[in-house]
A and B are shown apart, each in its own frame.
Chain A
Amino acid sequence: MERWPCQVSYDLDAVLPKADVVMMLRVQLERMNAAYFPSAREYSRRYGLDRDRFAKLHDDAIVMHPGPMNRGMEISAEVADSPGRPSSSRSATG
């Protein structure tokens, strides 16, 4: 990733205020054995888009998710079902 034209951060809370688009990943529970992270609980705590993190976004930011959403995991139900966002059109187009 060092050669990609992008910046990499490990601190989600620090970068959210600057983000125009937050692209969520659907955590593939079937791939948990590849040991990418310790547990669903830890992933949700460290990287989950919950109400507090959602509040850090500026007014024109949008949240996208490829769908289907694991509510309570990478995205809280509150955020997932909030009016207007996230945009989940990717699951319609595949």
Chain B
Amino acid sequence: MIVIRNARMLGGEPRDILIANGLISEIGAGLGGDTVIEAEELIALPGLVDLHTHLREPGREDAETVETGTRAAAMGGFTAVHAMANTSPVADTAGVVEQVWRRGQEAGHCDVHPVGAVTSGLEGKHLAELGAMADSQARVRVFSDDGKCVSDAVLMRRALEYVKAFDGVVAQHAQEPRLTEGAQLNEGGLGAARAHRVAGGRRGGDHRA
């Protein structure tokens, strides 16, 4: 039994937290346990969930891996992360999302929820096998072509309809590609004041998507 002493619950009043068998079993005052962690002035929060991370595995293990990314996440208080699909190969099949999920299990630092690509290869042309990814062991429920915008309106509509079958959501990278070709900076007031020779993205580029 582990007791965390005097932690400020959600930043509020300090309490003791008793943990038995990996679960919080009691919150109160003056609690005792085999292992004591003094947490005065520290804040106790529920595990944070990051809806948008890049674990870069498979394909870019030189930049990050599921192991390193989730270790960093856990250090920051995140107990679950969603890993975006722009890996190599792209996470657009049950096979790849299951691989990422399994790597998360093996690393054991936090839960990894692979995000499935909306379109095959992130090419924005054909729906990926969203159902297969949802039914896989990875239980994908969030789909995104992040990095790219699903700019075909029909495809986006089909994706939104399709994910209803398994209570999924589509997370859009809302950046209309034609309006933001070569864009570096938003075309707002602050951007105009700061930019000299920087290519501008029209403000409408975000709103339309």
Contacts and interface: CB of A to CB of B under 8 A. Distances in A.
A45 B132 CA distance: 8
Contact of B129 (A10, A11, A35, A42): A42
B98 to A, nearest CB: 15
Interface string B97-140: 00000000000000000000000100000111111100100000
B128 A35 contact: no
Contact of B158 (A11, A35, A41, A45): A35
Interface residues of A, number: 12
Interface string B144-157: 00000000001100
B126 A38 contact: yes
A4 interface: no
B162 interface: yes
A41 B154 CA distance: 21
Given A10-B164, A10-B165, A10-B166, A38 B155 contact: no
B154 A35 contact: yes
| Chain A contact residues, majority secondary structure | loop
Interface residues on B, range: 10 to 19
A28 interface: no
Contacts, number: 33
Nearest to B120: A38
A11 B167 CA distance: 11
A36 B158 CA distance: 6
B131 A38 contact: yes
B131 A42 contact: yes
Interface in A61-79: none
Interface of B: 120, 126-132, 135, 154-155, 158, 162, 164-166
22 contacts: A10-B164, A10-B165, A34-B154, A35-B126, A35-B127, A35-B154, A35-B155, A37-B127, A37-B131, A37-B162, A38-B126, A38-B128, A38-B130, A38-B131, A39-B129, A41-B129, A42-B129, A42-B130, A42-B131, A46-B131, A46-B135, A46-B165
